[in-house]
Amino acid sequence: MTAASAPEALPRLWDMIHEAGVIDGARALHLAVGRPPLVRVQEEGLRPLRETLPPIDAKSIIVLLCGVIDPERWDAIESVGDGEMILSRGLAGRPITLNVFRNSESWSAVVHL
């Protein structure tokens, strides 16, 4: 692997949300352990947010989520195994919502743009 094709570090979740939000037709940002950040684009389906972003590992997804979820809310989500919250208002005035859920051993999330 050359330096030019080396994977980047994962950006903060807010940076990924903003990056996905300006993609024409973007509907959601999908985060799952073992896969790079993916964007659901209307009429295209899922595609990588950026080709150079690495797959997310179990520790990284928690760091990403804790960057937007306050500790008390995270404790509640962790005890139940899932949760939903409004992060902010998007560019079109629609709410940006976050769905977080635990599968067998790790967390996944979908940010609806």
Query: Model confidence over 77-98: pLDDT tens digits?
Result: 999 999 999 998 766 678 999 9
With beta carbons less than 8 A apart as the criterion, state whether 33 and 107 touch. Answer: yes
- pLDDT for residue 104: 82
What values do phi and psi take at 22, rounded to 5? -95, 0
Confidence of residue 1 (pLDDT cuts 50, 70, 90): very low
With beta carbons less than 8 A apart as the criterion, state whether 77 and 100 touch. Answer: yes
- pLDDT for residue 12: 95
Q: pTM for the whole thing?
A: 0.88
Tens digit of pLDDT for each residue in 34-90?
A: 999 999 999 999 999 999 999 999 999 999 999 999 999 999 999 999 999 999 876
Q: Which structural domains are found in the chain, ordered by start?
A: 12-112 (3.30.450.90)
Neighbours of 69 (CB within 10 A): 22
CA 111 to mean position of chain CA atoms: 6
Of the candidates 34, 8, 1, 30, which has an alpha carbon nearest to the alpha carbon of residue 113?
A: 30
Which token pair is 51?
Answer: 């080709």
With beta carbons less than 8 A apart as the criterion, state whether 74 and 66 touch. Answer: yes
